[in-house]
Structure 1
């Protein structure tokens, strides 16, 4: 049973669900919309390819490094007001990006933009808990799961169209009307009496340590995969040192306290591995199809589209199945489908056919789509209301780390010049691990569902220490 302090709403506000989906769509859109325009931006701002790559890094660093600190802050502030702040901040930062006079300023503004995007990502589950009734939890998370990931998928397409028809600043200006719609919907439909408060100095210190640790981790991985072994190792050691320092703080104790609530650790672990499967597939398949199978770039795009298409279609269906048959059943089937789809890629022989590759990728995408909505629905169900910000940040961190580690490990394998089957081992191991953990999650949820509600069986975590200054 969920903890007794989790007070659900009795009627789902579907416009609010759409608003949350639009917000996360906007945040994920800017992860990829700039990628296809990097040469144009570099030419206009007199920068090299190495310099413009930092436009992607600058946005993604806060999306990982600030997730946990922002989750702790969201625990003690109003969810409606903080979501409105995130949307406005993202729109203002996007507008400023469009007027950036040089690359240095644009990179700095991308960090600000990524910070507000991270806040939006943290608020997905925390705000959703205010507007989604338990009976619609899976369906609503499935809808958000359809709208949100479309941003990263459609980003390169929109980026190419905008640059070809307009100028690169419109890559950022396009966020303004989306922000306006999301702001209006949130303001009208999300009800929450909580207010904003400034973070306390202790929170700022903890945030700096955590952000520094994850920044060194990501830059260390990037240096290792690009061949700078010594620099990469030094950065990874620095990340471990900062992580060890943070682990001894009370802030870390509050975060790990949430993870100790079953089944949250297994939910986040399986989510990390499922997204790592997807991240490695999106990275490795172009190499396999172009270099080993001789396909053109256009053919690769068409073949790979089967995976996100199936993911989007099945995500909403997966949410409905979760509401009808239970989160753990739908999530377990999704994880097993993903590993089945990857395993079937091994059966194609030396030359892959277009149709054969597409339906196998569709199975992988369908498995991921079927898995994510029940996974997020279960997190909402078992996380305490007053710790929903932390729980949401941990889920978001797992998702972002999976999409980061997948390509990183794939790059190492590609660099070693391995065979097609060796390349596919990366997503196979990740998806198999996710399926095994999904079994553990299913056992935990079944046991919790059999337990009667009451103080003797419910696990109530300690109250989080304040991370904001008193009002």
Structure 2
């Protein structure tokens, strides 16, 4: 039992402990991008297979998020987080030791499952331990970590690949995971439990739907949007995507009719800002994930930069996002965030379009630091502020469900972005270089610097592919502009048992 008569424990040490693991799992969403040519060469794999190293992780990360948020409510954020961290750390070791691309993909799936257990607990702890007027600073830290991690992953990856080899982008997680485990055990207190049942039919419908949609999008261009052999049958790829949409539709219908406890309580979408913030963060996840692959293929395959040199192009992004995110979130905690957040998403989309235009023109490679700087400044007004908008009015009793939904749509945006950019690159390379060229690239043309005679057309194709995520950012801008004017200070108070949990309690 918690002794509420004791001095209140600051929730900040617990949040910092959780953020270590959160940073690590988000870094792994993008760290593979910079190592793609080396993984292709080391494991004799094509680009489509290597894209699955990222997509498999993102998909395994996204699918369980709806239920892992509820697991935190039922069993407590700390034990669920620790279980995920242990699984993620062990899978990281397996990734580094993988002898084939197939083993690496399977190990990445396990990594994704561990990440799915961890992520909702971080946001749920913020909602349950920070008072409403202090959540802006906490979400600023959360948002800053999310923004920096997704963009600094390639920077760290480049240094590790050059110095030690691609395996070390995974080995580095092992000591970090051990440190994070110890800190969470010592610093994160018990939180009251909320009994929940689990909607297993909802889990199956959502998982099947998301997998089929992503699989169909990513493999569609490879098979010219025709048929592909699956279990001895020629299955149309468009039919696979349609089947996925049908499963997702059935999932929504089931959630509306489930009278016990649905996996997604649809009532949370009555909060207009939660719904719109979810759309906006999905668009941002799509854009940030999709932009990385063409940029690093261009920097290394066309311009001949090393992994470290290509990763240096993102230093302005990491600095801008990391330094400004906490300030921006605190500034917007007591203000109307609509125009600021819309401007941030517009800046992200503009930076990606800027990259796309300059990649096609093959400008001086260091000029790419300019769109990188725009990306960093813009990101500061997106990650944390969107989290504030999404959670400001949610009841803490549904903290796990709300966090799970919000993080699920963010990850689904990233998964679809990863699949869509693979299809877009193959399509544009075929158009610029010639029929079948995209398939040749998928077979390993980027394992080193591309021949000079095709460098220009391939650069053009990669630049054109970048315009796809830039266009998706426009939808996020519209969503942000449609936010309802917030009632500052109207967020619900902490539930009684959650407020008590902020007092000092004996560590488990």
TM-score by length of 1: 0.77
2:274 is the counterpart of 1:234 = no
Does residue 211 (structure 1) correspond to residue 243 (structure 2)? The answer is no
* Deviation readout 1:248-269 (Å, 9 max, x if unpaired): 3226574322222221100111
Aligned to 2:416: 405
Deviation at 1:141, TM superposition (A): 2.1
Cα distance, 1:222 vs. partner? 0.6
Q: 1:118 to 1:315 in 2, by over 3 A?
A: same
Measured after TM superposition, the shift of residue 386 of structure 1 is 1.7
By how many angstroms is 1:221 displaced? 0.9
Separation (CA, whole Å) in 2 of partners of 1:252 and 1:19: 31
Measured at CA, do residues 109 and 408 of structure 1 come closer, stay the same or move farther in structure 2, by a change above 3 Å? closer
Give 1:321's match in structure 2, choosing from 319, 331, 343: 331
Give the whole-Å Cα distance in 2 for the aligned partners of 1:425 and 1:51: 23
Paired with 2:352 and 2:36, the residues of 1 have a C-alpha distance of 32
Equivalent residue runs for 1:57-456 within 5 Å: 57-97=55-95, 106-159=104-157, 161-162=159-160, 171-194=169-192, 203-231=199-227, 232-249=237-254, 250=258, 254-285=264-295, 295-297=303-305, 301-323=311-333, 325-328=335-338, 330-339=340-349, 341=351, 352=363, 357-414=368-425, 415-416=427-428, 417=431, 425-441=467-483, 444-446=484-486, 448-449=487-488
Shift of 1:102: 6.5
Provide, for residues 181-226 of structure 1, a one-character-per-residue CA deviation record: whole Å limited to 9, x for no partner: 22233223322334699x96x6344323322211111111111233
Task: Pick closer, same or farther for the CA change 1:334–1:426 going to 2, 3 Å.
Answer: same
Question: What SS class does the counterpart of residue 272 from structure 2 fall into?
Answer: coil
Which moves more between the two structures, 380-389 or 326-335? 326-335
Distance in 2 (CA, whole Å) between partners of 1:205 and 1:187 is 33
Query: What is the CA–CA distance in structure 2 between the aligned matches of 1:371 and 1:137, rounded to whole Å?
Result: 16
Count of aligned pairs: 438
Counterpart contact for 2:218–2:420, Cα < 8 Å: no
- C-alpha spacing 1:67/1:453, structure 2 compared with 1 (3 Å): closer
- Which 10-residue stretch deviates more, 32-41 or 204-213? 32-41
Query: 1:326 and 1:218, CA in 2 relative to 1: closer, same or farther beyond 3 A?
Result: same
**2 CA distance for matches of 1:310 and 1:225?**
36
Shift in Å at residue 374 of structure 1?
A: 0.9
Partners of 2:96 and 2:400 in 1: CA distance: 31
Measured after TM superposition, the shift of residue 429 of structure 1 is: 2.9
User: How far has the Cα of 1:432 moved from its partner?
Assistant: 2.7
Q: Is the 8 A contact 2:334 2:488 kept in 1?
A: no
How far apart are the structure 2 equivalents of 1:31 and 1:75? 25
Superposed CA deviations along residues 274-307 of structure 1, whole A, max 9, x for unmatched, are: 333333443454577789xx75435754445433
SS at match of 1:297: coil
- Structure 1 position 385, deviation (Å): 1.0
Contact kept, 8 Å, 1:255 with 1:390, in 2: the verdict is yes
Instruction: Decide which moves more: 224-233 or 162-171.
Output: 162-171
After TM superposition, give the deviation of residue 236 of structure 1 in Å.
Answer: 0.7
Question: Do the aligned partners of residues 196 and 132 (structure 1) sit closer, same or farther apart at CA in structure 2, a change above 3 Å counting?
Answer: closer
Structure 1: give runs of 5+ residues left out of the alignment. Answer: 1-8, 455-471
Taking the aligned partners of 1:175 and 1:453, their CA distance within structure 2 comes to: 37
- Gaps in structure 2 of 5+ consecutive residues: 1-6, 228-236, 433-459, 494-508
C-alpha separation between the residues in 1 aligned to 2:70 and 2:166? 36
Please list, as runs of the form range in 1=range in 2, the aligned pairs for 1:29-44 lying within 5 A after superposition: 29-34=27-32
Q: Per-residue deviation at 1:41?
A: 6.7
